[in-house]
Structure 1
């Protein structure tokens, strides 16, 4: 029990439990806080009183609030998220059929973001070290600020117009082929790549100014060994701490981009559910996406613990 990893895991599990409690309470209150009568909204403005009563009973809105929350929590624990109003399918089945597509898109985007942003940020910092090549630093800052400010849906539409409509090189929708992933992944990844690359560039600049880096350069180590063995581990701690938040927010961009590219994931389904007021599906998707974001942050914390043992006790700095 004195092991740093034991205390680390306990803290993270407590934090994850807190996130789950907030998610469950938040998704439950989504229906309760809807202005007006949720049953009337679901049934439609021209629904008969009998239909409204049936919908109210189906939603459990005729029960006391605490009983509603207990039933909702019990359903989540048993993987019963209710049935879709639109199709009658169990929500858990709807999510299970859509989640692999969203996970595929999100995982590919996360890998692409890390593979581009970390080397790019380090390369710019090394090239501009000591005030050299100020034009390159200015160009990098301007380009990443510009492209990072473009919303995912705008960038997605632009990519469709250029590569699908004008050039005809890539499909603009669906998930029938591997090439159909290229445009959605690019649309999701551009913003996080720009943001994380700026963070890596700043952290690399700080690391390169440390005494141990001057000592390592004095030993005339090869550049690849110098930067990967001495610089990279020391900038990963702060980079991954902020990068975890960026990667978790990437899921929100994935949801929006899926609708633009007609990608058969959770994003397309939740937007159609919002339009049709399919509240069980909305609650289930929000719950799953929130859980995925929490899991991503947990995995980032584990990676931090493996790369810098001081983070296990909440203490980190440069080595």
Structure 2
């Protein structure tokens, strides 16, 4: 019985792992195809329009760009399996070094933005639910819904531009660009966290309204528990399950969505290098950036699924087994 139960518990995890592997394979194919389908000649862009034809052809042969696409793809996969991401066409730097230099700054930006969004949104959503429950203060509820809905609709880079003009370029209160110290995080993290905070706040409000009518909350209120214990000990943990799930998914989106914000603030992450690599048709760098961003999103989603399965056995992670049974 114990072995059978363990097998049922591991089955969803194995299924998720298989999906992760398949998704990574598709990502590798897509990263190769997307870059090679972009029109233009990277050699002409690198050597200049006046470069002799013989020089261009020689350089193309050296880089293997005159090989058929299936052969290029095979070489690409073979190098990936060895952990070799190639060398930049333009800077001649190993792509792994470029990623290692920028990836920590990009991940730090996304993680901080997610934490800030959670710290602001969860109390705000819970407060809105408690104060507007059962039709009370309808005006406040309408304002909350309108403001958070509008906040979600605005792209992150527009927040970045507005913050740059209001707090950096004008009054000079904060560093406008680069990473020179802790203060440099304030503007890009704020720009990235506004829309996710609004989305999480809306979800936290819905979850709180649902949990407030649950039997355990009625029992807790009947015991006349102090408000701090009622909300912090009983309500908050049950509200956080769905909220943390969405926050984890948003983290993956923030990693990829930080590209434009990083360019606004000249942040030393992967964003600027990604834009440069795509516009310059720097194949090795562009392919690696697409691969890294995609792999991070897939990994975050996988970890969120596993975490949800641990925190909530009735989650979607274990749903297939229940249906099969």
Same-fold call, TM cutoff 0.5 = yes
Q: Distance in 2 between matches of 1:220 and 1:133?
A: 24
Write the distance in 2 (CA, Å) between the matches of 1:167 and 1:120: 29
Displacement of 1:179 after TM fit? 0.4
**Structure 2 SS opposite 1:309:** coil
- Work out whether residues 43 and 55 of structure 1, in 8 Å CA contact, stay in contact via their aligned partners in 2: no
Map Cα deviations across residues 118-164 of structure 1 (whole Å, 9 max, x no partner): 22111211111111111211111121122222211111111111111
1:3-54 alpha-carbon deviations (Å, 9 max, x no partner)? 2552233122112112211210111112332236565565554443323323
- Structure 1 segment 298-317 matched on structure 2, within 5 A: 298-311=302-315, 312-314=317-319
Aligned to 2:217: 213
Distance 2:234 2:58 in 1: 66
State the aligned residue count: 316
Residue 59 (structure 1) shift: 4.5
Q: Over residues 99-135 of structure 1, what are the superposed CA-to-partner deviations in whole Å (9 max), with x where a residue is unaligned?
A: 1111221121121112122221112111111111112
* Structure 1 contact 262–268 (Cα < 8 Å) conserved: yes
Q: Which runs of 5+ in 1 are unaligned?
A: none
Distance 1:54 1:231 in 2: 68
**Would you say the 8 A contact 2:249–2:304 is kept in 1?**
no
Deviations 1:261-293 (A, max 9, x none): 111110011122223221211111111111111
Matches within 5 A, 1:260-275: 260-275=264-279
1:149 partnered with 2:158: no
Deviation larger for 32-41 or 14-23:
32-41
Residue 35 of structure 2 contacts residue 286 of structure 2 at CA under 8 Å; is this kept in 1? no
What is aligned with 1:31?
35
Correspondences of 1:252-267 after superposition (within 5 Å): 252-267=256-271
Name the Cα RMSD after superposition.
2.3
Please state how far the C-alpha of 1:172 moved relative to its aligned partner: 0.4
Aligned to 1:132: 136
Relative contact order, higher structure (CA 8 A, sep 6+): 2
Cα distance, 1:175 vs structure 2: 0.5
Asked if structure 1 preserves the Cα contact closer than 8 Å seen for 2:111 and 2:251, the reply is: no
Corresponding residue of 1:64: 68
